[in-house]
Amino acid sequence: MNAKIHYCHPGYVPSASKTFLVAFSEDVYLPSVKFKILDSDSREVYKGETEKISRCAYTGECLYKGFFTAVTAPGRYQIVLEDFDVKSHFFEVSDEWLVRELKANIKSFYYQRSGVELPERLAGIWARPAAHLDDKLEFHPTMERAGLWNAHGGWYDAGDYGKYIVNGGVSVATLMLGCELMQAHSQKSSIVGGAAFKETYELPVSLLDEIRFELEFFLRMQDEDGGVFFKVTPYRWDGFVTPLESDASQKRYILGKSTSSALNFAGALAQAHHVYANVDSEFAEKCLFASIRAFLWAEKNPEVDWPHNTEGSGGYGDSDLGDDFFWARAMLYRELKNVESIADVGVAGMLERLKSQLLVDMDTYLPTYGLQWRSTQNLAWFALATTDCKWKDRARMAFKYTADEILHLQNEDPYELSIRKFIWGSNGDIANHALTLYLAYEWLDELKYRNAAMEQIEFIYGKNPVDVSFVTGSAWSSPKFPHHRISHSDGVDEPVPGLVVGGINEDRQDTHRNPHYLGEARGMSYADEQCSFASNEVAINWSAPLTAVLLLLSA
Ligand code: 9MR
């Protein structure tokens, strides 16, 4: 009988409950499985017996669950099943690994920067010259618009070299959400923005500066009439070449203006006003004005479709924008409520309008288990939950009820997951569910929510059916061949670190590329191969919730 141990590969934090799974591919009738925990000197520090749990519906595995919460002393340990002659690798019980992962996650956004040089001093072996300056772009031929546009900067979205407002918006907003909570705790805005943060985490720039790099790109994407361009796209999909080679091989264009991009922009930049108010008030005001202009444009143009020309870049097409209106309205409401005189910002009447529309939005768009680029209402609920207004408690309770449903789903799942389908970017979903749990913890102060968030994070770092720690560079098992053009073309063996790959995806949209998925079962739909864009691509909207949760959990 072959037994496998599924556990969190980098480790566990001392205060958390510590669980692992023993999996058999065939039926096993043992009532339990004996295990030992050994320290780095092979001394037994704990022994126990697992309990039997059900057969896993999405892998077919027969599963047993072991607990070793009592092991709290920091150190390196290993799980041993003597009866089956199986051992785990060594892992840590420490707080440090979370911090290490946080650092790597934040830095991964720096590595996704476009248009600037990443010098060796800051980027080490992943240094690269500036490319894709994007400062004199033509409009896509389908736009029939003359002239050039400066859309310099911003992060590459994912494994491709596209830059998109829709996905960029939710990513930057998620990171700002993490920063806001940190600011609220410490009463010091500098906590995520200052030199101390930069030094503690050995980062090229602070988290707020990194986020600002994307926000400055956003500001450049606003047209003179307040509308916002949809994306920067190469004419055709790039090959697996470096940014410089891509630049030399084809032109990049500005494409589209859409209601969705205007709303993503408005929501994100209103939040930026909040986050940067005490850091750089001039920048914060610029963001608020830009947000208002984009929102007014969206109100006047509520049904401008996304560009359907998707050759060369992703679609990010969304046909229901009610949630995005809600997001933008709630964030603007939060900011404008505190502006001394609404007339100062030239939008008299707007606050009343926002208030009455928010009432309808709240009834229409309940919180989801987690944010997605397509469903953004949780950002609206977050804004209301942090506004001094009559809806604050309702919003906080809405998160509590949602978190309770997540807990219920987790309790029913052998891997403690609350997702019920592994979609494209399932790791992003999982991290976003963890973030919702953390919000419930933030406002209700009940540890069960925090612990549950940690359990979901452990799935991403290895306690999963495919035994992969899904963040590059995080463990012996982490992806080596992500669908990431930079990692493939930079001549460095190790992929760029700190990037979370999409993960298990039962829809397997890439089977025509013949990836070797790890098994037939839907929970085995992962391949660490570059061709598997549906399971092994990286993306900023999956990294952002993971970064935010790590930031909050390790605080
Ligand atoms: O994350 C996106 C996923 O929800 C969609 O199903 C998929 C297909 O449209 O696209 C994903 O986003 C990709 C984007 O279109 C282009 N850059 C890479 C993104 C991650 O795979």
Q: What is the pLDDT of residues 341-386, one digit of tens each?
A: 555 666 778 888 999 999 999 999 999 999 999 999 999 999 999 9
Q: Could you read off the pLDDT of 298-343 as tens digits, one per residue?
A: 999 999 999 998 789 999 999 999 999 999 999 999 999 877 655 5
Residue to substitute in 160, 170, 422 for testing ligand 1 pocket (most ligand atoms within 8 angstroms of CB): 160
d(CA 500, CA 47): 33
352 burial (CB, 10 Å; 0-12 / 13-18 / 19+) is: exposed
259 burial (CB, 10 Å; 0-12 / 13-18 / 19+) is: buried
Answer yes or no: is pLDDT of 188 > 60: no
The pLDDT confidence band at residue 175, using thresholds 50, 70 and 90, is: very high
Question: Which of 421, 323, 427, 452 has its CA nearest to residue 378?
Answer: 323
Instruction: From residue 92, give the alpha-carbon distance in Å to each of 39, 40, 97, 525.
Output: 10, 10, 7, 28
| 137, amino acid identity | L
Neighbouring-strand partners of residue 118: 128
120 burial (CB, 10 Å; 0-12 / 13-18 / 19+) is: exposed
Residue minimizing CA distance to atom 2 of ligand 1: 424
pLDDT score of 345: 62
Residue to substitute in 112, 530, 537, 538 for testing ligand 1 pocket (most ligand atoms within 8 angstroms of CB): 537
Q: What is the sign, positive or negative, of the torsion defined by CA atoms of 108, 111, 115, 117?
A: positive
Enumerate residues 6+ apart whose C-beta is below 8 A from 408: none
Answer yes or no: is pLDDT of 190 > 60: no
Cα–ligand 1 centroid distance for 433 (angstroms):
19
Q: Which residues of 461-472 are buried (b: 16+ CB within 10 A; e: fewer)?
A: bbbbbbbbbbbb
Percent of the chain with pLDDT over 90: 91
Cα–ligand 1 centroid distance for 9 (angstroms):
27
The pLDDT confidence band at residue 204, using thresholds 50, 70 and 90, is: confident
Stretch 49-70: mean pLDDT: 95
- Pairing type for strands 62-67 and 19-24 reads antiparallel
Answer yes or no: is pLDDT of 491 > 70: yes
pLDDT score of 282: 96
Stretch 149-159: mean pLDDT: 98
Q: Could you read off the pLDDT of 212-238 as tens digits, one per residue?
A: 999 999 999 999 999 999 999 999 999
The pLDDT confidence band at residue 74, using thresholds 50, 70 and 90, is: very high
374 phi and psi, to 5 degrees?
A: -90, -25
Using the atom order of ligand 1, give the atom closest to the CA of residue 157.
17
* In the block, residue with structure tokens 């023993």: 22
Cα–ligand 1 centroid distance for 316 (angstroms):
7
- Structure token digits, residue 267: 């929501």
* In the block, residue with structure tokens 């996704």: 112
pLDDT score of 61: 97
Stretch 80-92: mean pLDDT: 97
Predicted TM-score (pTM) of the model is: 0.97
- How crowded is residue 429: how many other Cβ atoms within 10 Å of its Cβ? 25
- How crowded is residue 349: how many other Cβ atoms within 10 Å of its Cβ? 9
Query: Can you tell me whether residue 93 is helix, strand or coil?
Result: strand
Of all helices (H) and strands (E), which one includes residue 229? strand 229-234
pLDDT score of 407: 98
d(CA 12, CA 74): 10
Complete domains list, the chain, with CATH: 3-93 (2.60.40.10), 96-464+536-553 (1.50.10.10)
Residue minimizing CA distance to atom 10 of ligand 1: 314
Query: Can you tell me whether residue 403 is helix, strand or coil?
Result: helix
- Structure token digits, residue 88: 């785990």
Question: In the predicted model, what is the mean pLDDT of the chain?
Answer: 95
- Structure token digits, residue 152: 């310099």
* In the block, residue with structure tokens 């404008």: 336
Using the atom order of ligand 1, give the atom closest to the CA of residue 483.
21
301 burial (CB, 10 Å; 0-12 / 13-18 / 19+) is: middle
Q: Are 435 and 520 in contact (CB under 8 A)?
A: no
Instruction: From residue 482, give the alpha-carbon distance in Å to each of 251, 361, 375, 514.
Output: 25, 39, 26, 15
- Structure token digits, residue 498: 């700190």
d(CA 333, CA 356): 11
Q: Are 179 and 197 in contact (CB under 8 A)?
A: no
Percent of the chain with pLDDT over 70: 98
234 phi and psi, to 5 degrees?
A: -70, 165
Enumerate residues 6+ apart whose C-beta is below 8 A from 393: none
Ligand 1: residues within 6 Å at CB? 157-158, 160, 162, 314-316, 424-425, 537, 539
